[in-house]
Structure 1
Amino acid sequence: MATGRRAPIFVVRGHARARLGGARLGRLAVPRRRPGGQGRYRVVTAPSDAVYYRRSRFTTHLPVDRRYSPAHYWLLEESPGIWRVGLTRFATRMLGDIVDFEFGTPQGAHIAVGDEIGGIEGLKAVTSVYAVGSGRFLGEGAPLRQNVTLVETDPYGEGWLYRLQGTPAEDVVDVHGYVAILDATIDKMLASRHAAGDDRD
């Protein structure tokens, strides 16, 4: 794994009350435990080699062949040392409908973990795009030039953001590690909501 700086967390700029799946980030109901259940979320393996995650008002399928970053990026190793990178469904829900993106980093340039290499704009928020590995930047996702909404509608397929040749950041995890990251992230949202006195379901 790459050493040095840790990849930054996914940070959105714009609407402070970004929405998650059509509901404000603060408006997430605490799920009930199932009888005999041990966790706050339910995880099962889907037939399509994905993990189904459900927590509060958010549900998603997470491909098991990816690695995931705490900043809500996924990484897929296409061939040894060649990584395709995209945003997870959770990240795209925070951004809302994708309207524009741009990469200021030239193809072939050296990048390091945490470098700001571009930006992406949604109707709900705007965020920088960061390097989640160190090595060479191999360029943006070509399909996005034809249809930028693929980031939202097909985040694990044609909606990938960029490719890099090198090594991922040290803090990337497998799908089960990302389940824990999602749970901790939503816990913080719930805590923020309750601290603000918003007790609506």
Structure 2
Amino acid sequence: MSDELTFMMGQFPARIRTDRNYVATHFWLQSIGLELYRVGFTAYAVRLLQDVYFLDWSISDGTMVGKKAEIGEIESSKALSTMYSAEAGEIVRINPVVAADPSAINADSYGEGWLYELRTNSSLLSAAEYMDVLAASWEKTQAIIKGQMNQ
């Protein structure tokens, strides 16, 4: 099996790595220890955000969060948006690289551009299950994108 799957966003490929798990809200979680994961935006999310250039965290290392809890703001060439936690658990550590320069998200979202480390025991999706989520929501996402472009 390949180390990535590809979801086509129109003419643009979103590469989905198979060496990690996912959540439907477009975050990847890669195991780095017992119930400890590195969390980052999927290629799909980065493509929708486009150029990320500012992060403002409203949490700090050691913060307990609920699923989809507000943890900060993210600004990209598309919009200023609230950033939410991928899952419930403890934000163990915020990535100092993206805290200092969020452009790492654009350049290497599956590597140096990770967001934070999370301790959680939540159920996660496989790469194939995440691809199913993308396929099920792509038509609606396209309509939203087209609506934004026509404003």
Query: TM-score with structure 2 length normalisation?
Result: 0.86
Confirm whether residue 63 of structure 1 aligns to residue 10 of structure 2: no
Identify if the C-alpha distance between structure 1 residues 80 and 54 changes in structure 2 by more than 3 Å, giving closer, same or farther.
same
For the Cα contact (< 8 Å) 2:15–2:44, is it kept in 1? no
| Residue identity opposite 1:141 in structure 2 | N
Identify the residue that residue 105 of structure 2 maps to in structure 1.
Answer: 151
CA RMSD of aligned residues (A): 2.2
Give structure 1 stretches of 5+ with no counterpart. Answer: 1-44, 197-201
Identify the residue that residue 82 of structure 1 maps to in structure 2.
Answer: 36
In structure 1, distance between residues paired with 2:115 and 2:72: 10
SS of 1:158's equivalent in the other structure is: coil
In structure 1, distance between residues paired with 2:43 and 2:121: 23
In structure 1, distance between residues paired with 2:45 and 2:92: 22
| Residue identity opposite 1:93 in structure 2 | R
Confirm whether residue 93 of structure 1 aligns to residue 47 of structure 2: yes
Identify the residue that residue 188 of structure 1 maps to in structure 2.
Answer: 140
Identify if the C-alpha distance between structure 1 residues 122 and 132 changes in structure 2 by more than 3 Å, giving closer, same or farther.
same
- The offset of 1:154, in angstroms, is 0.5
Identify if the C-alpha distance between structure 1 residues 148 and 192 changes in structure 2 by more than 3 Å, giving closer, same or farther.
closer
Give the count of matched residue pairs.
148
**Which residue of 45, 52, 67 maps to 2:6?**
52
In structure 1, distance between residues paired with 2:100 and 2:56: 13
- The offset of 1:191, in angstroms, is 5.2
For the Cα contact (< 8 Å) 1:83–1:163, is it kept in 2? yes
For the Cα contact (< 8 Å) 1:96–1:125, is it kept in 2? no
Query: TM-score with structure 1 length normalisation?
Result: 0.66
After TM superposition, the structure 1 = structure 2 runs for residues 126-165 of structure 1, keeping only pairs within 5 Å, are 126-165=80-119
For the Cα contact (< 8 Å) 2:7–2:13, is it kept in 1? yes
For the Cα contact (< 8 Å) 2:60–2:94, is it kept in 1? no
In structure 1, distance between residues paired with 2:32 and 2:72: 22
The structure whose residues are more often helix, as a share, is 2
Give structure 2 stretches of 5+ with no counterpart. Answer: none
